[in-house]
């Protein structure tokens, strides 16, 4: 499916299939089209081309059924701060058709899940950012959705809260067979949490696989060199170097058994300004596929996407 706003292509014909109980990550910098993709799956935006089935329902034609199947947690705080935590959940239960008999019981259950029973009667105004996030996660789960859509679930949270939320999400997928689709621009989050990751850049999926395999594809360790005298020709064709790339003023080599070959490499390079060796991370995978670091474009949170949506609306 794809989404264009006039001449701007926000999502460029992406295509993927996600299995039940899977944690699927859309990884990319802000403005890559992650939120737009998620919003189309949530039926908040209509695709301009192609189609998507969520829980077997067409997002364009059966939007009400899709909405009942999904729980969505937005990037920006979307709980009502004039209401208490409990009241937010109650209003949600009413809107999502939770049967009357089950409302109270389910509210208690999700509150327990996110460890917030003791703060349920406080106004959301008085919550910290992390508590608000947890409440919204609880809310997303209240109507027992088969699929949970999380837009940057741990954006701006402290490490401890992030770890907590990751545990909840993992637990949900494992024990309740809930399918989780999340967007993130955090490499560690994608690596730690996701069964599969789609790397998305400029609206296109450039790679899609299990994080471990994505890293293994590069093979070996990454040697990052900064040097003025480097001659790439001297490095190509060596059997222990599986790829040579230039990005951001650095030369990136993927090297097998780098500890054995490092001296050999440095001899060929000449004068070295800096050298770095580390195990392959998703960051290297990202760099490998897109030719730039993920942080390059992460300015204001999702500004480009929002401008695109804004312009789309006024058209």
Partner 1 sequence: MTAIDELSGFYALWYREIKVFTREKSRIISSLFTPILWLGVFGGGLGSAVSLSGVNYETFIFPGILAMTILFTSVFFGLYIVWDKKIDFFKEVLVAPLSRTTIFMGKTVGGSVDSLIQGGAMLIFGLFIGVHYTLQSLLAILGFMFVLAVMLVSVGLILGSNMESVEGFQLISSFLIFPMFFFSGTLFPTNNLPPYLLALTMIDPVTYAVDGLRGLMLGTSAFPIPLDFAVMLIYTSIMVALGVLSFKRLK
Helices 159-176 and 129-141, packing angle to 10 deg: 10
Tell me which residue has tokens 């460029």: 12
Cβ closest to partner 1, residue 83 vs residue 247: 83
User: Least distance to partner 1 from the beta carbon of 29, Å?
Assistant: 21
Residues that bind partner 1 (CB under 8 A): 42-45, 64-65, 67-68, 70, 72, 74, 76-80, 82-83, 87, 90-92, 94-97, 100, 139, 309-310, 313-314
Q: Which is nearer to partner 1, 76 or 231 (CB)?
A: 76
Per the CB < 8 A criterion, the answer to whether 136 and 78 are in contact is: yes
Closer to partner 1 by CB, 10 or 235: give it: 10
User: Which residue's CB is nearer to partner 1, number 98 or number 223?
Assistant: 98
Cβ at position 108, least distance to partner 1 in Å: 19
Q: Please state, in angstroms and rounded to a whole number, the distance separating the CA atoms of residues 147 and 152.
A: 16
Concatenating the DSSP letter of every residue in 216-230 gives: HHH-SEEEEEE-SS-
State which residue, 84 or 258, has the beta carbon closest to partner 1.
84
**Cβ closest to partner 1, residue 96 vs residue 240:** 96
Least distance from C-beta 39 to partner 1, angstroms?
9
Within 8 A by CB and 6+ apart from 234, the residues are 268, 269
In the complex, what is the shortest distance from the CB of residue 302 to partner 1, in angstroms, rounded to a whole number? Answer: 12
Closest CA to 198 of 80, 282, 304, 113: 282
Q: How far is the CB of 7 from partner 1 (least distance, A)?
A: 20
Helix 303-314 and helix 34-41, axial crossing angle in degrees, nearest 10: 50
Asked if 229 and 268 touch (Cβ cutoff 8 Å), the reply is: no
DSSP string, 103-159: HHHHHHHHHHHTT-GGGTTSBGGGS-HHHHHHHHHHHHHTT--SEEEEESTTTT--H
Q: CB 283 → partner 1: shortest distance, Å?
A: 30
């Amino acid at each position: 499916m794809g989404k264009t706003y006039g001449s701007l292509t926000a999502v460029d014909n992406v295509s993927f299939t996600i299995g039940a109980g899977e944690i699927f990550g859309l990884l990319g910098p802000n403005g890559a089209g992650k939120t737009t993709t998620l919003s189309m799956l949530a039926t908040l935006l209509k695709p301009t081309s192609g189609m998507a089935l969520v829980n077997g329902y067409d997002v364009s034609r059966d939007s009400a059924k899709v909405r009942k199947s999904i729980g969505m947690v937005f990037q920006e705080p979307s709980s009502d701060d004039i209401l208490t935590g409990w009241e937010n959940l109650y209003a949600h239960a009413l809107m999502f058709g939770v049967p009357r008999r089950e409302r109270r019981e389910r509210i208690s259950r999700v509150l327990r899940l996110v460890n917030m029973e003791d703060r349920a009667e406080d106004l959301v105004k008085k919550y910290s950012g992390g508590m608000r996030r947890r409440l919204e996660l609880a809310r997303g789960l209240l109507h027992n959705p088969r699929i949970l859509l999380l837009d940057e679930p741990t954006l701006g949270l402290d490490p401890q809260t992030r770890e907590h939320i990751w545990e909840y999400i993992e637990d949900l997928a494992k024990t309740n067979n809930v399918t989780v689709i999340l967007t993130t621009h955090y490499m560690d989050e994608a690596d730690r949490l996701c069964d599969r990751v789609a790397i998305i850049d400029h609206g296109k999926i450039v790679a899609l696989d299990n994080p471990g395999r994505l890293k293994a594809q590069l093979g070996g360790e990454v040697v990052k060199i900064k040097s003025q005298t480097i001659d790439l020709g001297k490095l190509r064709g060596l059997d222990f170097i599986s790829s040579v790339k230039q990005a951001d003023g650095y030369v990136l080599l993927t090297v097998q058994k780098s500890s054995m070959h490092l001296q050999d490499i440095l001899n060929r390079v000449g004068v070295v300004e800096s050298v770095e060796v580390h195990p392959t991370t998703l960051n290297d995978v990202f760099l490998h596929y897109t030719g730039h670091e993920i942080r390059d474009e992460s300015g204001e949170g999702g500004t480009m996407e929002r401008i695109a949506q804004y312009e789309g609306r006024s058209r």
